[in-house]
Structure 1
Amino acid sequence: MGRFKETEIEKIVEKLKQCGAVFEPPPKHASYRIRLGDGILTIYSSGSLVYGGKDKERLKNIVMKVLSSSIDKTPRVGCDEAGKGEYVGPLVVSAVFADEFGIDKLLRLGVKDSKKLSDKKVLELSEKIREKVNGKVKILMPKSYNILYSKFKNLNKLLDYVYCELLKDLYRKFKFKKVVIDKYDNTLESELRKIFPKNMDIVVVNRAEDDPVVAAASIVARAERLRRMELLEKKYGISLPKGNKPEEIDTFLNNVPEELLPELVKTHFNIKRGDQG
């Protein structure tokens, strides 16, 4: 499961009290140790939940009912991207569609903002998300990205275009009435309103990853980027930096021929050989 907010934990604790749960002394770094039948729930100060015992599934079901009751179940598309700020590797944009039942499935998986998850967990969850809900992914490998960027000359305009095309494709299939996107500029909403019906509920907000459908899209996007980075490494026989740490970028640039860079990096980034030292 993910990390939960204090208000969510309060609701969980109150519900378990109503169910007759026994509250035992918590272990170190934990706020609660709660026993219900043969199930044990430990709630850590960080907001993490750990289940144990033979009745742990019963406890999970109770917790998920508490959480799902406070979450909007409107069928919707959630969107997010990975690789926007990274010099090396592809840009991946993901859109996930989930109806009421799909949202429940995502909650049971414990989806949360992919930035809070390890690479291993992201890859694992991505497969499960793809099994439970529908969606679409647009992958712009560096070569394609650079060609498209040369047309728009602006990253946000490029993203606006990709999101519009991706959502148009998804709309043809699912006719969704709501879309939630993590905000990166002030123009996307107006661009979307040009192409979708007037009654479309378009939500473009900061920290949209708090929405489980957006969190699912975030996980799928990051997982796909990880896979594509691995493919690039195998194809060219080099190690690629996952972020923008100066020392890693410097090592990378010192080991890659200049003519190969357009296949591996976003060339409009203001990074040159020797800049990182």
Structure 2
Amino acid sequence: MAQVQVIKVNKSTMAKMQAYYTKNQLNKTIPYAQFAAKVGSTTITAYTSGKVVFQGPAAETEAAKWGTAESKTAGTSKKSTTLPANFSQLSVLGSDEVGNGSYFGPVTVCAAYVDKTMIAKLKALGVRDSKELTDPQIRQLSAVIKKLIPYKLLIVEPEKYNQIQPKYNAVHMKVALHNQAIYLLLNELAPVKPEAILIDQFTPEANYKKYVKSERNQVSEKLYFVTKGEQYHVAVAAASIISRAAFLEELDKESKELGVTVPSGAGTASDKVAAQLLKKGGIELLSQYAKLHFANTEKAKKLAGK
């Protein structure tokens, strides 16, 4: 059964969403809709009332980028644990990921530890939600952040992603990656222990805990889950920036290797580049650079006449 997520957003968030999904927007008119878009196999319909409906396999993931779901057909509506008082001033390990909704490029997950003594310095540098930063700013900040704080970055290249994906759905894969990045960073920090671990929420807490049970090195203590985690602690913002910079670097690498600009997202530009790769080296070549289970693959085959 397809997942359905519904969120309510204000005008400011709606404008950000429309800009964010520009390359993915569908050229069709829906009554009372401000815009409609498609990311992979997931459709997003934003209505003038402020209600946004996400439908498809990555509905949870996409909706979690913008707000808390009002209703869903999968998981649970149970609210995450309330954060401790003065949370933004605690020593926190935060984690975030990038690339799950992009056809080309990897999935990057970063866990970053910010000791309370570093909070003011990072904020002074401009460390905040990566969606508010330009790509050049993200690259520059990431290089600085990585010199200042402990972090663990995991990069799953498309070829590896395609091998894992049949066994792990998108949410399960992210649970495994977040858990592993946090586990590895905790080991490096020992004997220092963060006062809390904050995961930028991409699935209900109960769902996360269900999937993490199948992981060998489970981290379960001091875990908190909130959407838009970067607003609650700079550690998540730092993790988001490092993840995004790594994603951009990998896209640059792919572009250089292929001699063509590889786009982010999952819009028509991705279909066209994928069709070029299919003509050049078939599905074997495409599998090295793209997440094959996305709907873009079938669209590219049609464009390439395959």
What's the TM-score, normalizing by structure 1? 0.68
Q: Check conservation: 1:90, 1:141, Cα contact below 8 A.
A: yes
CA shift at 1:150, angstroms?
2.3
Q: Match of 1:53?
A: none
CA contact (8 A) 1:106 1:213 kept: no
Whole-angstrom CA distance in 1 between matches of 2:101 and 2:199: 17
2:38 matched to which residue of 1? none
**Distance apart, 1:236 and its partner CA:** 2.2
Q: Which residue number in structure 2 is paired with residue 196 of structure 1?
A: 219
SS in 2 for 1:255: helix
Q: What percentage of aligned pairs have identical amino acids?
A: 29
Q: Secondary structure at the match of 2:159?
A: helix
Cα 1:83/1:164, change in 2 over 3 Å: same
Offset of residue 268 of structure 1: 1.2
Shift of residue 215, structure 1, vs aligned partner: 0.8
Question: Aligned with 2:166: secondary structure?
Answer: helix
Structure 1 residue 71, shift from structure 2 partner: 6.4
Check if 1:139 corresponds to 2:155: yes
Alignment partner, residue 228 of structure 2: 207
* Contact in 1 for aligned 2:182/2:219 (Cα 8 Å): no
Aligned residue type for 1:92: T
In the TM superposition, what is the alpha-carbon distance from 1:201 to its structure 2 partner? 2.0
For 1:171 and 1:229, locate their aligned partners in 2 and report how far apart those are by CA, in whole Å: 29
User: Could you say which residue in structure 1 is the equivalent of 2:141?
Assistant: 125
Amino acid at match of 1:206: T
Q: Which amino acid aligns with 1:164?
A: N
Give the secondary structure class of the aligned counterpart of 1:77.
strand
Q: Relative contact order (C-alpha < 8 Å, sep 6+): which is higher?
A: 2
Gaps of 5+ in 1: 1-69
Displaced runs of 4 or more, over 6 A: none
The alignment status of 1:94 with 2:114, answered yes or no, reads: no
Q: Name the structure 2 match of 1:229.
A: 251
Larger mean Cα displacement after TM superposition, 166-175 or 91-100: 166-175
Are the aligned partners of 2:95 and 2:182 in contact in 1 as well (CA < 8 Å)? no
**Shift, 1:161, TM fit:** 0.9
Match of 1:173 among 174, 188, 195: 188
Question: How much has 1:156 moved relative to structure 2?
Answer: 0.4
The aligned amino acid for 1:88 is F
- 1:42-191 matches, within 5 Å, as 72-152=88-168, 154-174=169-189, 175-186=193-204, 187-189=207-209
Provide the secondary structure at the position in 1 that maps to 2:245.
helix
Unmatched tracts of structure 2, length 5 or more: 1-85
Q: Letter of the 1:202 partner, please give it.
A: L
In the superposition, relative to structure 1, how do residues 189 and 76 fare at CA in structure 2: closer, same or farther (>3 Å)?
farther
Compared CA separation, residues 244 and 275, structure 1 to 2 (3 A):
farther
The match for 2:77 is: none
Count matched residues. Answer: 204
- Residue 244 of structure 1 aligns to a residue in which SS? coil
Q: Which amino acid aligns with 1:176?
A: P
RMSD: 2.2
Q: Is the 8 A contact 2:114 2:234 kept in 1?
A: no
Tell me the CA shift for residue 270 of structure 1.
2.0
Query: Contact 2:111–2:152 (CA<8 Å) still a contact in 1?
Result: yes
Task: Find the aligned partners of 1:203 and 1:275 in 2 and give their Cα distance.
Answer: 44
TM-score normalized with structure 2 length: 0.62
The Cα shift of 1:240 comes to: 0.5
Q: State the SS of the aligned residue for 1:81.
A: strand
Q: Is the 8 A contact 1:164 1:191 kept in 2?
A: no
**Alpha-carbon displacement from aligned partner over 1:54-83 (angstroms, at most 9, x marks no partner):** xxxxxxxxxxxxxxxx76221111111110
Structure 1 residue corresponding to 2:294, chosen from 251, 265, 269: 269
